[in-house]
Amino acid sequence: MNSLRRTIALFGGTFDPVHFGHLRMALELKVALEFDEMRLLPSHQPRHRQTPGVSSEHRRQMLALAIRDCPQLAMDDRELRRGGATYTVDTLEELRAELGDSVSISFCMGLDSLLTLTTWHRWQRLLELAHLVVVTRPGWHLPGEGEVAELLSKHSGEQHHLREQASGRIVVREQTLLPISATRIRELIARGHSPRFLLPDAVLEYIEDKRLYRTAAEGGC
Ligand code: ATP
């Protein structure tokens, strides 16, 4: 067992647009779980999405602006470059091949995502490739029975496992979420209201400059 294993965490999302909820969560996870790297992983826009999302390139640019002065956070844009359907397992396979077997990879997700994990493409492979860090809100309960409960009890781990093993553990972390969502930000802009103080100024300036998320009812930010 190598206690000096390098640890890399991934925080996925559509980031349409990225906001302080995402950034704060990623930073807190990095600090609390002592990851060597925290990479924000923008996903290719899911086809079923109903909201007026913007292009991958805009989402990439906004994320780059959001983290440009924050050396603790990085972006991994491989899913945008790959395009097409985004499967986490493909991303993890690619990263594992790139980083080798000794690096520890942690994929961070909310409890809601964990609850649907067994519907994910080749989900059984995920824990062979990475750890899962599951973020729960204070007061929320983990499932007590069913496939996910079994998975949790089989793979349950503590923070130290993230450095001692390269993959295979599920670490649950309770954390408060800032009450911000990208949906709300898009709605505010579409109605001509300002989303200021919910996301970095540089991202807001980009949105204004490129006139993103507006509808026919134009308005300023
Ligand atoms: P949308 O409103 O468009 O669904 P979102 O704001 O929920 O977007 P996503 O890009 O879908 O953002 O989420 C990326 C990741 O960030 C997910 O793991 C999600 O659980 C998490 N997340 C979303 N909002 C917050 C928040 N306010 N605080 C912490 N994490 C968040």
Measured between alpha carbons, how far is 180 from 164 in angstroms, rounded to an integer? Answer: 34
Write down all domains in the chain, each with its CATH number in brackets: 2-210 (3.40.50.620)
Pocket test for ligand 1, best of 49, 178, 181, 203 (most atoms within 8 A of CB): 181
SS3 41: strand
Tokens for 96, please give them: 């594992």
Q: Are 189 and 199 in contact (CB under 8 A)?
A: no
Could you tell me the distance, in angstroms and rounded to a whole number, from the CA of residue 12 to the centre of ligand 1?
A: 9
What is the length of the chain? 221
Diameter over CA atoms, the chain: 60
CA dihedral 29, 33, 39, 45 (to 10 degrees): -50
Q: Rounded to the nearest 5°, which phi and psi values hold at 131?
A: -90, 160
Does the predicted TM-score (pTM) go above 0.95?
no
| pLDDT tens, N- to C-terminus, the chain (221 residues) | 545 799 999 999 999 999 999 999 999 999 999 999 999 999 986 655 655 578 999 999 999 999 999 999 999 999 999 887 789 999 999 999 999 999 999 999 999 889 999 999 999 999 999 999 999 988 788 888 999 999 999 999 999 999 999 999 999 999 989 999 999 999 999 999 999 999 999 999 999 999 999 975 454 44
Of ligand 1's listed atoms, the one at least distance from the Cα of 19 is 6
C-beta 53 within 6 A of ligand 1: no
Is residue 183 within 6 Å of ligand 1 at its C-beta?
A: yes
DSSP lists the bridge partners of residue 156 as 170
